[in-house]
A and B are shown apart, each in its own frame.
Chain A
């Protein structure tokens, strides 16, 4: 029966079966399916699914609840299931790898919680694969190390084979790297050392891993490495065939493995180099569109040095990684022991050279601190509770720098003492999320924009709500002019400019655009207002007259962010087209286009204007330094979430960051 016939038969029989009275359905199917047991099993399970929710359109939630038996078992013979269940109480499905499905289960004999991997039928029925699988057990039995996942036994129930191993509660390095980009240097070093320890033990026992990759490296809840899947490893014994078929994962294979040549421990050293590269830089050393492309690059190209990707990587780690990645095995570290020694060299980094101009050092300091701020907390311990119960959308310093305000999706505004971060007051009189905040020049009042389409003015000292202005069109962004006279708001196709000094409830100007406006920003001298909108351009307005001064300043997609430099010489615009453009405010021509890897979410200049910070939607923070706008630092989101809002304090010494997970963090930037 070909695929089309099978589809037709399955759907027709299903439709016919559910028209039968419930008691007749199974006999009907048994009659119709004849010898086709697979078809029968499929239809039976569909019919029972239908009966579970008869006539309803409700679908149960995706779930792996403990009480429910993990379902793919049902595809097996009931007798086999009983056999498995007599040994293991299946608790939950944990994932699926190339070899099969993994469950968390309780061993009925020992009471121990274990991970059991049920081999895919295609593998269980292939003698060569079963042999490899058996090897996995035998080999790992030789290795007893705290950083290697212990394997217990291989079971066979009829045609079903499964392997029981130590259950590791945690995530793979792959998952962690996807979450945070790169590990901090100390964290990365700790893991690198543990992976090395585990590999060294294996190598000493004559076992090569042969498939080392972030997916096979688990990090448990204590933050320790557990190396898994020595599944394709084979003992280095005479005659055991260490050459021949290509086994491994493209992208993490060593060149000699690609060529099908004999491999030795130095192959793991190479793969480890790739893992370390990725761990410290957040990027794969080799990137290709196809496996073939990847393999070609592995064979013929060198990746960019790790330090070029992440300047915080110490020189000796950079060199160690590059040495691991030598194409000639003889040029790599001779053993894991040698590599560990190199990695853990504890020489202090050389001080910055005197030739560096002073601003570069300041910039480097800011960069470093920002990176520490955002990357520094990786996976060390469960984070303290966040300051807000929802995403932080706005942070603002009072003009004296002593008070910080934060506004969140949790509908509150909180005022914090700087630098103690003691909570001073909560302003909770809002129906909806707070989207933007601005203090008045004298620091007595605070303006907030809320999703409930209001702009509220608060007395800071008492927390009293002084004034509410409703913008029927909605409010998603506000900006306050530096002299604190004008307030600009938008949330629709219109930008409203309000004269805050008069407290008027009608805007002075209503500036119309053809599409949604996403961002507004005042120039430092307060005379101009920039807006960015879905019409794929930024526009500049005269605040007093309400006239258009410049625009369209074109992008290829919606403009999400705008910011003037503190000297008003430049306007930066950030767009969904993944670029930040820097415009001259005299000629209105682009002086620089900075390409990013994702859509731009936030943009800000520092108080001296030599640094521009950008955040993209993937949570990556990058710092760019004028006048050439080269990248001088970057960081990625950590367990505190993605940076959603930030503000430099007026004296430039503090940086406040609000995150997607409700954290408000303060970072000292100098001395």
Chain B
């Protein structure tokens, strides 16, 4: 495990443009999130409900601590959302053997996602649709990633991506519709 000071230092280097620092942060964040997520999945409620925001907050406190420059915080949150997605997708891949399409439940994209890990097929479908969206509309896809996998509020997303709240709202609306169409069409 790294000390909070180390991640803060790496985030500092990262905002000065150090790419190695970024990949190091990614590695640390992924490791920490995966560790936490696995602990929760194994030991928590039977429906394995996982709150990404809670996990990211815990990882944040463990890796960074309270005091950090807002720009570093934005970097951290951006990375954390990506890595949260990776953790969830890894998990779904592993436990999604025999993926079944056409489940009856509605896929609900909420502002802060409460992810039911027991529906790996849903998660994988969203992940794949999001990959497609990202290849055509990268900015809009990143809003979904931050909101869906990071559970961030519009204001935080605007901060992280350096745009206005209005743009975030519009991107979310567009991406949601696009994903809806994609998911309804199947793979």
Contacts and interface: CB of A to CB of B under 8 A. Distances in A.
Interface of A: 7, 10-11, 14-15, 18, 45-46, 49-50, 52-53, 57-65, 70-72, 93, 95-96, 179, 432-433, 451, 474, 476, 491-492, 515-516, 534-535, 558, 617, 642, 660
Contacts of B187: 62, 93, 95-96
Contacts of B181: 45-46, 49
A125 B30 CA distance: 46
A491 B106 contact: no
B46 A433 contact: yes
A46 B178 contact: yes
B179 A59 contact: yes
Contacts of B137: 7, 10-11
A474 B44 CA distance: 9
A11 B168 CA distance: 12
7 contacts: A46-B178, A60-B107, A61-B107, A516-B39, A534-B35, A535-B1, A660-B97
Contacts of A45: 181
A11 B171 CA distance: 8
Given A11-B171, A15-B170, A46-B177, A62 B109 contact: no
Interface in B116-137: 121-122, 125, 136-137
Contacts of A14: 174, 177
Contact of B94 (A57, A432, A617): A617
B69 interface: no
B170 A72 contact: no
Contacts of B3: none
A515 B186 contact: no
> Majority SS of interface residues in chain A?
loop
Contact of A61 (B39, B104, B171, B173): B104
Nearest to A641: B97
Nearest to A435: B42
A558 B35 contact: yes
> Majority SS of interface residues in chain B?
helix
B43 A58 contact: no
Contacts of A617: 94
Contacts of A93: 186-187
B183 A60 contact: yes
A535 to B, nearest CB: 8
Given A474-B43, A617-B94, A62 B101 contact: yes
B55 to A, nearest CB: 14
B184 A60 contact: yes
Given A15-B173, A71-B185, A476-B42, A58 B121 contact: no
B176 interface: yes
A534 to B, nearest CB: 6
Interface string B145-187: 0000000000000000000000000110110111111011111
Given A18-B173, A49-B181, A516-B42, 11 more contacts: A11-B137, A15-B170, A60-B106, A62-B101, A62-B122, A62-B183, A63-B186, A64-B101, A474-B43, A516-B35, A535-B1
Nearest to A18: B173
Nearest to A46: B177
Contact of B185 (A10, A57, A72): A72
B46 A64 contact: no
Contacts of B180: 49, 52-53, 59-60
B105 interface: yes
Select the residue from B46, B94, B180 with max chain A CB neighbours within 10 A: B180
Nearest to A3: B136
Interface of B: 1, 35, 38-39, 42-43, 46, 94, 97, 101-111, 121-122, 125, 136-137, 139-140, 170-171, 173-174, 176-181, 183-187
B15 to A, nearest CB: 26
B108 A61 contact: no
A451 B46 CA distance: 8
A96 B177 CA distance: 24
A64 B103 CA distance: 10
Given A57-B109, A60-B180, A492-B43, A15 B174 contact: yes
A63 B39 contact: no
Given A11-B171, A53-B180, A71-B186, A62 B106 contact: no
B43 A62 contact: no
A57 B110 contact: yes
A45 B121 CA distance: 25
Given A7-B137, A71-B184, A451-B46, A57 B174 contact: no
Nearest to A71: B185
Contacts of A432: 46
Nearest to A491: B43
Contacts of A516: 35, 38-39, 42-43
Contacts of A515: 35
Contacts of A179: 97
Nearest 6 A/B pairs, CB to CB:
A62-B125, A71-B185, A63-B102, A49-B181, A59-B180, A59-B107
Contacts of A71: 184-186
B103 to A, nearest CB: 5
B66 to A, nearest CB: 21
A61 B103 contact: yes
Contacts of B101: 62-64
Contact of A50 (B39, B139, B177): B177
A612 B97 CA distance: 27
Given A57-B109, A516-B39, A62 B121 contact: yes
Contact of A11 (B109, B121, B174): B174
Contacts of B35: 515-516, 534, 558
A560 to B, nearest CB: 10
A15 B140 CA distance: 13
Contacts of A451: 43, 46
Contacts of A95: 187
Nearest to A72: B185
A195 B1 CA distance: 54
Select the residue from A49, A52, A62 with max chain B CB neighbours within 10 A: A62
Contacts of B185: 71-72
Nearest to B121: A62
A61 B177 contact: no
A61 B122 contact: yes
Contacts of B176: 57, 59
A617 B94 CA distance: 8
Nearest to B138: A7
Nearest to A60: B184
Contact of B183 (A59, A535, A558): A59
Nearest to A453: B43
A93 to B, nearest CB: 6
Contacts of B140: 11
